[in-house]
Amino acid sequence: MLMPHPAVLRGLLEEYEAAAANEPADATGAPGPRTRDLAYTLCVSTGTRDVARALEAARLQLTAAATHTAKAVEAARTPMPAKAGAKAGTMTSAKAPAPMPAAAAD
């Protein structure tokens, strides 16, 4: 399943919550059109069919994305162990490959 970028999902979640809190209900008491549109988009984005499940899935995906990002940042800050025989603080480079022997003339 395709997953929305966390920034897009966060925006949808914030917009939905704002619309649900501030948009007046329609004549039947159902959510307004913007709230319904955002609920549908959240459902499609999270692969669910119910807005309550979509909200739960969106929050879980955002939590997972934040955890993944935190682990990636920590991994980037952790120094790599030096290769055996290398001096601390120096860079090692791979040896250049040996030249190919010249082809025999006919």
What's the structural domain count of the chain?
1
Q: What is the pTM of this model?
A: 0.64
Within a domain: residue 59?
A: yes
pLDDT (0 to 100) of residue 40:
97
Rounded CA separation 16/34 (Å): 8
**pLDDT per residue over 4-46, tens digit each?**
899 999 999 999 999 999 999 888 999 999 999 999 999 999 9
The identity of residue 98, as a single letter, is: A
Give the model's pLDDT for residue 74: 74
Do 42 and 16 touch, CB atoms closer than 8 A?
yes
Establish if 83 belongs to a structural domain: no
Helix ranges, 5-87 (H)? 6-22, 33-46, 51-77
Which range of residues forms the domain containing residue 69? Answer: 12-21+31-77
Any domain includes 100:
no
Asked if residue 16 is part of any domain, the answer here is yes
